[in-house]
Structure formats: C-alpha cells, structure tokens
Amino acid sequence: MNFIENESEQKLRGGYYTPEDLATYILKWVNAAAPGSILEPSCGDGIFAQALASVDPGRKVELTAFELLDEEYQKTVRRCADLGVKAQVAHGDFLDWAIRKMIAGVPLFDGVVGNPPFIRYQYLPPEAQEKAELIFKMLRLKFTKHTNAWVPFVLASLALLKPGGRLGMILPSEIIHVMHAQSLRTYLGEQCSRLLIIDPEEIWFEGTLQGAVILFAEKKLEREQHSDGVGIHKVVGKEFMQADPGQLFDSVARINGETVEGKWTHALLTKEERTLFKQLCDNEQVHTFEQIADVDVGIVTGANKFFLVADQTVAEYELGKYAFPMFGRSEHCPGIIYNEAQHRANASKGSPTNFIWIRDAVDTLPKRVREYIKTGEAQRLHTRYKCRIRSPWYTVPSVRASKIGMLKRSHDTPKLIFNELGAYTTDTAYRISIKDGIDERKLVYCFGNALTALSAELEGRHYGGGVLELVPSEIEALQIVLPKALNAFDLSELDGLIREESAQRVLEKQTRIILGALGVTAQQQKMLLDAWLRLKNRRQRISEAEED
C-alpha cells in the first residue's frame, strides 16, 4: 500500500497540466457542434480557456469553470479577461456544485472539456470521498473505494451534459481496463451514442509514468437511441492533431454489444482477430481458468522483510527449525519448475529463500529465536494491522503450499510454475489448486500459448511501468487450452527453453505445438501471435519501429 506521506505534492493534488496543443485539439472537436455553453470541471491554469479563444474567435461560447486552488483560479480568471472569453470561473469544489445540479435533474451544458484530477480515493479528504460516493449512488452505479477522483468528475460532467452534447477529456489510459472504472465504462456505454479513445504510444505528461488518452464522447439524443459503442485509435507522435478530429471521430471502427461489456480492451483488436478469438473460446477443448482450477492469494505475512530471509539470517538467529523454502519473485524462478536445484541457486545468491514460520509460544522458544522476535518488535512490526490482529503476532496464518504457483506480475507473458519442491509463496504470487481430472503438469505446459497470452492482455491491467498484473478474478477469466490430442510433452525441456530463449520465441514454438494440436491453422496462429505482440508492445510502450 502507498501511504500519503510518501506521495508527491503534485500526485496528491492530481495536477498534470494539459499541453496547449492537446487542449486546442479537444476544443476543435467539441466546438464543431456549435455549443452555446461548455463546462470545465477542473480548469487549473486556464489552458482550455486559452484554447477556446483560439477556436471560438467570435466569443459565442460561454465557459463555466471550477478550480479549488486559489493561485490557479486567479490565473484562469486573468486569462479569460485578457482573451475576452465569456466565462464564469468559480473558486470552489466542482463535485459539491455538481451534486446540487444533478439533484435538480436538468442538463446544463452543450459541451464538456477538461483534464480532471488524478487522485486516488484514499488520498481524498473525507468530505471529498463522501461526495464521490454520492455521485455513484445518484447515478445508481456500483461504487468501489479503489476509485480515483477523475472517475466521479467524468460521471458528474456527463450527467450535466445535454442530449447530443459532446465531452472531450484527457483521462488516464487505465479507463480502458481497470476494474475501478467499470461503472464509468458502463455509464458511458448507456449514455453515449459514440465513443472514441485516442491512444498515444508516448507518455504525454513529463515526469510521470502515467499514460493518458483523449476521450471523445457524444451523448445520446434519447436514452433508447442505439449506441455504436467505442473505438480505440492508436497514434504515434502528435501529427494526428493536424487532421480534422471530427473526421477521425466519424470514421473509426467501433465495437458494441457483448464485445464491449466489461473492459474495453477488445476494441484494441481487429474485427478478424475478435472473430477468431471468440471462435476458439467456444471450442470444447478451451476452458476458462475457473473451470479447471481455483486461485488463492499467497501467504500474507504483514512484514515480508521479517518473515522472508536469507540463509545468513537463519544461521545468525538459529532459525533452522522454523525456516521453510519459499519463492515469490520472477528472478526466483526464471523457468517454470521450482525444484531443489533452483532453490539452492537462489540461496547461493543471498536471496530471501526462507519463510519463517514460528508457531510455538514465545517462552518456549530458544534464546536466539526470541531475540529475533525482539528485532521485529523493535521495528514495531507487532503494531502493523496484519500482525496485531493475530496472536501471537509472529505466527503467520493460512500457511500452505500448492503444486502450481503463479506470480501476480509479469513482463512479457504470465506463466504457471510447477512447484516440485513444495515451497511456500507470499502474496506476490497465487496458489493454484486444480480441479478433478486435470493433469497439473499438462496445465503448466499448455499455459504458454498465443490464445492464453492474448487473453491475459485483454483481461489484465497495467500501470506506468508497463508490467502486466492479474488479480484472481482476471485469472479466472483466462482462456486455457488443453488439447485432447496432446498427451506427450516434456516439462523439463520447456523449462530449459524458457530459461534460454526470449519469451516471444518460446510463445511462437509453444503456440505451434498447443494450438496446432487443437487444429488451429498456421495463419490463425500468426493472427493470434500478432495480436498478442501488438497489445504487449502497447502495454510496454514499444513502438512498431523498434520492434521491426
């Protein structure tokens, strides 16, 4: 968990200011619908007001803007005055004002523009948290405390937009896939006739790993109107801004219906790729992960540095009786088999390969073990929430090993690990328990193929660093191929291959074997591999030029 005292001032106020060229591009599209009124819910230093002046030389549009910070509010007021923009700039809380207007139930604006604050819910003041939750409740949407300030800002802005109105905003790229934005995606799909996401290869905001996109949304004229759904358009550089945004909005390919339910990642695929993906998912030899296995988080220690230690610490405090083998990082298992040899190799590097599990009462423990417990108490580990709710604090609960493990995060492709040693895993990994009739080794072997890898890109999430992360509900949705014709396989050979070859080369080879056994043609295999590579490169921000 990130604590508020460890975050930067910029991150806490959510202030990533918009480049003028992006603001102008957004205003061109919104202003093309001839709006009489435009809302900007978080105006910052007034860059959208300046952009409005450039696209509305006749000063026909009236701008209503909000800003909490006094210094930025003053900048916007001065900019509007200097440029002659018709504006009502309020020094106050947009959400507070929006709630009152939403209660009245009358849409007010022809257009919405902006770059709302990116602030995690946990960092919002209590009164702001209450307002955010109330907006979800008013719109009858499911609320989660994992949300971010930008989500209720967009919800409230869209609620105040008139039928047929246009919304153009810069938002975190995670709108496409994170679970906490699902209510927003649902609301946008219900309320809007057409949606477009402009998805840049680059990071637009310097000094941050936060990816951002442009969202263009056109609100339905009436609730029953058909929705064309959402389209995602990839751009490289800023040359796209030289063209007419309206032409792009009208021409982009979109998906709707069941394809767009949940995450919007399927819009990153071509029509042919989506058709093939669905066709293979319907094959009786392809299963969702939850049909064949259960997923459980690894051991939650509450203080990993205390409970996961190297051999040196075990020797120093005579912890041998209480030390058990463990793994929990990608470097701990570069292949797909965790055995005694891999464990010894990790230990020789000084890695924390020992899980300390002490179940005896403190007064029965040897002197050096008691002294080790005291080192933890000197660090006040016993006062941490996860430690203080158990007794004694140093006895970790729910300790069990599973024959298959899976790391929570991966760089290129996720993989299953055959836990031959029976080592424990912490909450950086998942414990996988197979259901009746499933061959554990075959599941581990077959997990690495283009269909499963593509489903991981579609179901998972990623943040600034480009690492793929999967939570249990997303793992349960993965598509798993278990060909009946594939009975002979060598897990040890695959383990060696993974250690020596690139992830892409391994995936290509395994796709030929596994999907080939399913009857998937070479052309179809290539289509899946190309789709996986494109989504992986997007996540890692690798350009097509670099890949070539």
Q: How confident is the model at residue 463 (pLDDT cuts 50, 70, 90)?
A: confident
Encoded amino acid at 475, one letter: I
pLDDT at 257 over 80: no
**pLDDT score for 543:** 80
pLDDT at 24 over 90: yes
**pLDDT score for 376:** 98
Determine the Cα–Cα distance for residues 313 and 164; give it in Å rounded to an integer.
66
Computed over every residue of the chain, the mean pLDDT equals 93
Determine the Cα–Cα distance for residues 187 and 157; give it in Å rounded to an integer.
12
Contact 362, 370 (CB under 8 A): yes
Per the listing, tokens 């058709």 go with 275
Examine residue 392 and say whether the peptide bond preceding it is cis (omega within 30 degrees of 0): yes
Determine the Cα–Cα distance for residues 167 and 192; give it in Å rounded to an integer.
10
What is the share, in percent, of the chain residues with pLDDT greater than 90? 88
pLDDT at 8 over 70: no
Measured in residues, the chain has a length of 548
Q: Dihedrals φ, ψ of 217, to 5°?
A: -135, 130
Determine the Cα–Cα distance for residues 282 and 258; give it in Å rounded to an integer.
15
Q: What is the largest CA-CA distance in the chain?
A: 85
**pLDDT score for 207:** 67
Higher local confidence (pLDDT), 103 or 258: 103
Segment 209-222 shows an average pLDDT of 92
Instruction: Please give the torsion angle defined by the CA atoms of residues 86, 89, 94 and 96, in that order, rounded to the nearest 10 degrees.
Output: -110
- Give the pTM: 0.90
Determine the Cα–Cα distance for residues 120 and 127; give it in Å rounded to an integer.
14
Q: How many helices (H) and strands (E) does the chain have?
A: 23, 21
CA angle 237, 239, 244 (to 5 degrees): 135
DSSP structure class, residue 148: B
- Model confidence over 355-388: pLDDT tens digits? 999 999 999 999 999 999 999 999 999 999 999 9
pLDDT at 116 over 50: yes
What Rg value do the Cα atoms of the chain yield, rounded?
27
pLDDT at 176 over 90: yes
**pLDDT score for 440:** 96
pLDDT at 249 over 80: yes
**Helices 450-459 and 503-517, packing angle to 10 deg:** 110
For 10-21, b where at least 16 C-beta lie within 10 A, e where not — what string? ebebbbbebeee
Encoded amino acid at 196, one letter: L
Contact 214, 27 (CB under 8 A): no
pLDDT at 401 over 60: yes
**pLDDT score for 5:** 38
CA distances 114 to 25, 37, 39, 71, Å, are 12, 14, 8, 18
Enumerate domains of the chain plus CATH numbers: 4-268 (3.40.50.150), 286-295+402-547 (no CATH), 301-388 (no CATH)
Per the listing, tokens 């490289």 go with 236
Segment 117-133 shows an average pLDDT of 93
**pLDDT score for 12:** 42
Q: How confident is the model at residue 544 (pLDDT cuts 50, 70, 90)?
A: low
Asked which of 329-343, 456-470, 517-531 is least confident by mean pLDDT, the reply is 456-470
Q: How confident is the model at residue 258 (pLDDT cuts 50, 70, 90)?
A: confident
CA angle 259, 530, 417 (to 5 degrees): 90
In terms of phi and psi (left: phi > 0; alpha: psi -120 to 50; beta: otherwise), the region of 327 is beta
Segment 250-273 shows an average pLDDT of 90
Determine the Cα–Cα distance for residues 526 and 529; give it in Å rounded to an integer.
5
Encoded amino acid at 444, one letter: V
Segment 123-139 shows an average pLDDT of 95
Structure tokens at 185: 């995606």
Task: Name 120's bridge partners.
Answer: 148
pLDDT at 54 over 70: yes
**pLDDT score for 547:** 56
- Model confidence over 73-110: pLDDT tens digits? 999 999 999 999 999 999 999 999 999 999 998 889 99
What DSSP letter does each residue of 13-64 carry, written as one string?
Answer: HT--PPPHHHHHHHHHHHHTT--SEEEES--TTTHHHHHHHHH-TT--PEEE
